Amino acid sequence: MMPHQRLRRRGADPARTLAYQVLRQVTADGAYANLATHQALAEAGLDARDAGFVTELVSGTCRLQGTYDRIIAAASGRKPGSLQPELLDVLRLGTHQLLSMRVPQHAAVDAGVELAAAHVGEKVAGLTNAVLRKVAARDLDAWIAELTRHEDALGALATRTHHPRWIAAEYVALLGDEAEAALAANNVNPAPTLVVRPGLAEVAELEGDPTRFSRFGARRPGNPADVPAVREGRAGVQDEGSQLVAAALAAVDPAPPGPWLDLCAGPGGKAALLAGLAMASGETLVASELAEHRARLVQQGLRAYTGANAPVTLCADGTRPAWADGAFAKVMADVPCTGLGALRRRPESRWRRRPADLDELVGLQRRLLTSALRAARPGGVVAYVTCSPHTRETVEIVLDVLAASATPVERLRTADLLGVPDAAREGGWSAQLWPHRHGTDGMFMALFRVGH
């Protein structure tokens, strides 16, 4: 019997089937949950209610995946790795419905059994039923209490807030007693934040509530493509924190005349904002991106800018620059990072990342910041930005690179220039945004002026 025939016979519904297919892309193929969900929904033609159900089912399951795996292990008596990956994803989806959504127990269990039979095989239907019924015997708080009975304070914090221990440890080191609120904020899915392309659109056109700190943005629930300015490329989607760091670099004065550089421009949010601000200053932005597909995204995001000083997109390696030293007046180095500051938008990242990832990333980050400093002309301004608060990716990178620099580099009062309250880090020469404090992604920024 073909899978689709079993699906009709068992009655597995389209929304849960779609959520299962997306989750398989995330867990088996390394897809990003938000992008895979968006693409699947665009092709599926579900109504708004079912689309919302799929979105919550996928994002919520990914966000609490580590916690759910421990619950499934306790309920099944098996380690998650010993279960078929397809079955494990069915059980994760069922667990999320039972413990974190307003889905009646019988509906969640029956739907899980139907999904397992349709996509894994009839022989696992009984196991699926038994495991999900054991999961349903406790609510989430009771499961958390059970899981944390023998854990130390840090382990209990990590479990309560649904993070790996190593991430919770870094938050505690940075925030102390404030860490729990910060970790909890990573579990709140934010409304889309829109941004104008300066000179091409006004904030009123975004049809949302103006952002708290950025003068370029607005928050608006729903599909951003419903906004005409977004469809036309005169506005886009960009977190407020990302808007703020781009605007802070643009606003630094004095700075020498000359073009601006976005060193790692993909996927293009900061580049699109910087391009408009550069044009308003009579300058041109050069947006450089190593990966060809991301360079195309950058170019698409810049498509509405035309005429004099229109931005230029390059596909180039920032560590092996295609430009001469001292070519740019302002340089944005928003470097690849763990993304620990954007966990609320990338729910799968907390379980996908490992501490060992830092070892590879920090070397690249050092090379990119070094390249950015060399690209700036005397008196030029450089911004080092990551979407992570982790000390190894932020403060340590800056101090290491500046210590090794042959050219004098002045650290600017970044927190003052950013203009956001309660964002100062390291005495103010750097700044850290936080979801729980500022309602933004957790962006780190440090600004420098390159000497002669």
Task: Give the CATH number for residue 139.
Answer: 1.10.940.10
pLDDT number for residue 4 = 37
Containing structural domain, residue 171: 148-185
User: Which segments within 88-244 are labelled E, that is strand?
Assistant: 193-196, 209-210, 217-219, 235-237
Q: What secondary structure, in 3-state letters, does 384-402 show?
A: EEECCCCHHHCHHHHHHHH
pLDDT number for residue 7 = 38
Radius of gyration over every alpha carbon of the chain, rounded to an integer in angstroms: 24
106/231 same-domain check = no
203/350 same-domain check = yes
Hey, what are 142's tokens? 């009771």
* Catalytic residue check, 337: no
Taking the C-alpha atoms of residue 68 and residue 382, their distance in angstroms, rounded to an integer, is: 43
Q: Angle between the 125-136 and 65-76 helix axes, to the nearest 10 degrees?
A: 110
Per the document, the length of the chain is 452
292/376 same-domain check = yes
- Taking alpha carbons only, the member of 133, 145, 127, 110 closest to residue 16 is 110
Evaluate whether 273 touches 265 at the Cβ level (below 8 Å).
Answer: no
Evaluate whether 56 touches 20 at the Cβ level (below 8 Å).
Answer: no
Q: Residue 169, Cβ neighbours under 10 Å: how many?
A: 17
216/127 same-domain check = no
Enumerate residue ranges in the chain where pLDDT < 50: 1-9
291/414 same-domain check = yes
Phi/psi zone of residue 32: left (φ > 0), alpha (ψ -120 to 50 degrees), beta? beta
- Taking alpha carbons only, the member of 62, 57, 70 closest to residue 111 is 57
Taking the C-alpha atoms of residue 330 and residue 373, their distance in angstroms, rounded to an integer, is: 10
Evaluate whether 85 touches 116 at the Cβ level (below 8 Å).
Answer: no
Within 8 A by CB and 6+ apart from 199, the residues are 276, 279, 280
Among 156, 185, 214, the domain-final residue is: 185
382/403 same-domain check = yes
- Taking alpha carbons only, the member of 452, 443, 435 closest to residue 183 is 435
Among 135, 165, 185, the domain-final residue is: 185
Among 160, 185, 210, the domain-final residue is: 185
Classify 21 as helix, strand or coil. Answer: helix
Taking the C-alpha atoms of residue 112 and residue 13, their distance in angstroms, rounded to an integer, is: 10
Q: Residue 55, Cβ neighbours under 10 Å: how many?
A: 19
Evaluate whether 209 touches 219 at the Cβ level (below 8 Å).
Answer: yes
347/271 same-domain check = yes
Q: Which of 62, 264, 337, 387 is catalytic?
A: 387
Hey, what are 19's tokens? 């959520």
pLDDT number for residue 11 = 58
Give 250: exposed, middle or buried? Use CB within 10 Å, 0-12, 13-18, 19+. Answer: buried
Evaluate whether 381 touches 410 at the Cβ level (below 8 Å).
Answer: no
CATH of the domain at 331: 3.40.50.150
Torsion on CA atoms 209, 211, 212, 213, rounded to nearest 10? -160
Taking the C-alpha atoms of residue 354 and residue 359, their distance in angstroms, rounded to an integer, is: 10
81/9 same-domain check = yes
317/329 same-domain check = yes
161/228 same-domain check = no
223/155 same-domain check = no
For the chain, how many structural domains are there in total?
A: 3
Classify 203 as helix, strand or coil. Answer: helix
Within 8 A by CB and 6+ apart from 416, the residues are 428
Q: Find the distance separating the first CA and the last CA of the chain, reported in whole Å.
A: 75
pTM metric for this prediction: 0.94
64/179 same-domain check = no
